[in-house]
Amino acid sequence: MNKTDLVVIDDDDGILWLMEEILIEKYSYKTCQSGLTGLQCIEEYQPRLAIIDLKLGGGMNGLDVAKKIPEKCDEIVLFF
Amino acid sequence: MMTIALEMQSFFNTLHYRLGYLLKYLRQGIISFNIHGEIVTFNQTAKDFLTSQGVELIPGTCHDTCSLYKPINRAIDNVIKNGVEHLGKESIIETKISKFYLKWDVVPLKDKNENIQGAILVFEDITEINKLKHQIQEQERKAIAGNLAAGFAHEIRNPLSVAGGAIQLLEIIDDPKRQNNLIHKLRGELDRINQILTDFLDIAKPNKQRELIAIKLPKIIEEIQFLIKSDTNLNNVSLIIQKPPNNFPLIKGDSTHLKQVFLNIMKNAIEAMEDGGKLEIAYCHKNESVSIVFKDNGPGIPEKHLPLILRSFFTTKVEGTGLGLSVSSELVKNMGGELKIESELGKGTIVRVIFPLFK
């Protein structure tokens, strides 16, 4: 299985770009722009940490995502 | 015989006196003209108002001596000649002394055989009412701006975080290529903040009544979509904006007023969809008109509320003023357009704003 260190979910391009710039040298990561693709990504890559924006567009907010993934990654960070 | 004649005379005198009294205290000014367009009678209100504008009413003189406004004179001539009624006209009249809004009617004066005997001009000074209307429109605009300001803080914080992060990274990164990339991004994020603030100021700054100009509707929507983004996110509403057809025609309008109207419609739709939903915006061009359609799949509006929904002070919201839609409808009317609402309980609401083409 392709594991990754982190999954970052944010609907803001700028924030995703910044996270990539910060993470790129030391970690493996995946980025997603919606709660739905984020959940699929977490399912697939089983990250150690998920960083999720609270306000997400597209019908599912960060809390909804966080509630659905407790056993799939070690830790979740929600940011506001 | 004599007694009857005297009684009749006294009856007519009383009637005449009462009618005179009635006309004297009427809020509207009334002037009657004979078939030659000469002033016959007028009430006190007409006399007082015209005197205050420096015009003297003299019975027997032609109507153009008493009017301040050419279209009224033309209407009087037209009524006497063709018997066509001119009802509910509103005009802005500027004299050397002042500027005021007049609502006026010119109707034919007919005898019992329906022959035209002259014309009657009824007018009312609606300057104060118009001022109040404008004030209410301004209040509503401010309310929308205030409401947006609370919401879009988030939209500004994101690019600010990115810019702040980029600066922190610049301090620790040595690779010139990455540094360049960061500076480029930093500039982009600052532009983004600037754009959001510019769009916001467009709706927040006081609106002076201006001339209507040629407007691209899709551009107006483009300029407000970032302002509404935090509201859509908050209620889990997906905003779907249809690409406008090629060569979508221009309309005649005022961009601030259009933004005010569209934001109001969008906010209503988003607030109605508390548990999430879809708000679609589409453009339509049919013959001599264009429309922009806002379609939501919220709970819909009860049938009994539909006829009341554009009325001032009608609201079902706890903290609503009931002015949003009535003001929007008024603003659209001022641009020559029309606001129409269809709704079905359980299915959603469609708001159409229809405009004539710009010519």
The whole-number average pLDDT for the span B188-197 is: 88
The whole-number average pLDDT for the span B122-145 is: 88
Distance CA B283, CA B215 (A): 14
Distance CA A42, CA A30 (A): 9
- Check whether A62 has a pLDDT greater than 90: no
The whole-number pLDDT of residue A56 equals: 82
pLDDT digits (tens, 9 = 90+) for B318-335: 777 788 888 899 889 989
Least confident residue range of B24-28, B95-99, B196-200: B95-99
pLDDT band at B140 (very low <50, low <70, confident <90, very high): confident
Interchain CB contacts (distance < 8 Å): A and B: 45
Count of Cβ atoms closer than 10 Å to residue A73 Cβ: 18
For B304, residues 6+ apart whose C-beta sits below 8 A from its C-beta are none
8 Å CB contact of B238 and A60: no
Distance in Å, alpha carbon of A80 to nearest chain B alpha carbon:
9
- Check whether B27 has a pLDDT greater than 80: yes
- Kindly list the residues from chain A whose CB atom is less than 8 angstroms away from the CB atom of residue B276: 59
B positions 266-305 inside 8 Å of A (CB): 276
The whole-number average pLDDT for the span A4-29 is: 89
pLDDT digits (tens, 9 = 90+) for B237-273: 889 999 988 889 999 998 888 999 999 999 999 999 9
- Kindly list the residues from chain A whose CB atom is less than 8 angstroms away from the CB atom of residue B182: 21
Strands B39-42, B116-125: pairing kind = unpaired
What six digits make up the tokens of B295? 């379609």
pLDDT band at B66 (very low <50, low <70, confident <90, very high): low
pLDDT band at B192 (very low <50, low <70, confident <90, very high): confident
Q: DSSP letter string over B16-73?
A: HHHHHHHHHT-SSEEEEEETTSBEEEE-HHHHHHHHHTT----TTSBGGGT-S-HHHH
8 Å CB contact of A14 and B192: yes
- Check whether B210 has a pLDDT greater than 80: no
- Check whether A29 has a pLDDT greater than 90: yes
- Kindly list the residues from chain B whose CB atom is less than 8 angstroms away from the CB atom of residue A22: 165, 169
Q: Is B162 on the interface with A (CB under 8 A)?
A: yes
The whole-number pLDDT of residue B289 equals: 92
The whole-number pLDDT of residue B258 equals: 92
Distance in Å, alpha carbon of B333 to nearest chain A alpha carbon:
34
pLDDT band at B93 (very low <50, low <70, confident <90, very high): confident
Distance in Å, alpha carbon of B199 to nearest chain A alpha carbon:
19
Mutate to test the interface with B, among A21, A23, A52, A79 (most CBs of B within 10 A): A21
B289 contacts B356 by C-beta, under 8 angstroms:
yes
Query: How far is the CA of B197 from the CAs of B157, B183, B229, in angstroms?
Result: 12, 21, 14
The whole-number pLDDT of residue B299 equals: 93
The whole-number average pLDDT for the span A14-24 is: 89
Distance in Å, alpha carbon of B147 to nearest chain A alpha carbon:
18
Q: What is the CA radius of gyration of chain B?
A: 29
The whole-number pLDDT of residue B209 equals: 61
pLDDT band at B16 (very low <50, low <70, confident <90, very high): confident
Distance CA B328, CA B307 (A): 16
- Kindly list the residues from chain A whose CB atom is less than 8 angstroms away from the CB atom of residue B161: 14-15, 18
CB-nearest partner of B189 from A14, A21, A22: A14
**Better pLDDT: B207 or B345:** B345
pLDDT digits (tens, 9 = 90+) for B161-176: 899 999 999 998 889 9
Strands B99-110, B251-253: pairing kind = unpaired
Q: DSSP letter string over B131-173?
A: HHHHHHHHHHHHHHHHHHHHHHHHHHHHHHHHHHHHHHHHHH-
8 Å CB contact of B236 and A60: yes
Distance CA B170, CA B173 (A): 5
DSSP structure class, residue B286: E
pLDDT band at B1 (very low <50, low <70, confident <90, very high): low
The shares of helix, strand and coil residues in chain A, as percent rounded to the nearest 5, are 35, 20, 40
pLDDT band at B231 (very low <50, low <70, confident <90, very high): confident
Q: Which residues, listed in sequence order, are joined to residue B99 by a DSSP beta bridge?
A: B94
Summary count for chain B: helices (H), strands (E): 8, 12
Burial label for A46, CB within 10 Å (0-12, 13-18, 19+), is: middle
pLDDT more than 90, % of chain B = 35
- Kindly list the residues from chain A whose CB atom is less than 8 angstroms away from the CB atom of residue B177: none
Distance in Å, alpha carbon of B197 to nearest chain A alpha carbon:
17
Residues of A with CB under 8 A from a CB of B: 11-12, 14-15, 17-18, 21-22, 55-61
pLDDT band at B211 (very low <50, low <70, confident <90, very high): confident
CB-nearest partner of A59 from B161, B165, B276: B276
Query: How far is the CA of A59 from the CAs of A26, A38, A62, B5, B278, in angstroms?
Result: 33, 13, 10, 87, 9
The whole-number pLDDT of residue B2 equals: 65
8 Å CB contact of B158 and A12: yes
The whole-number pLDDT of residue B208 equals: 67
Residue B333 phi, psi dihedral angles, 5° rounding: -60, -40
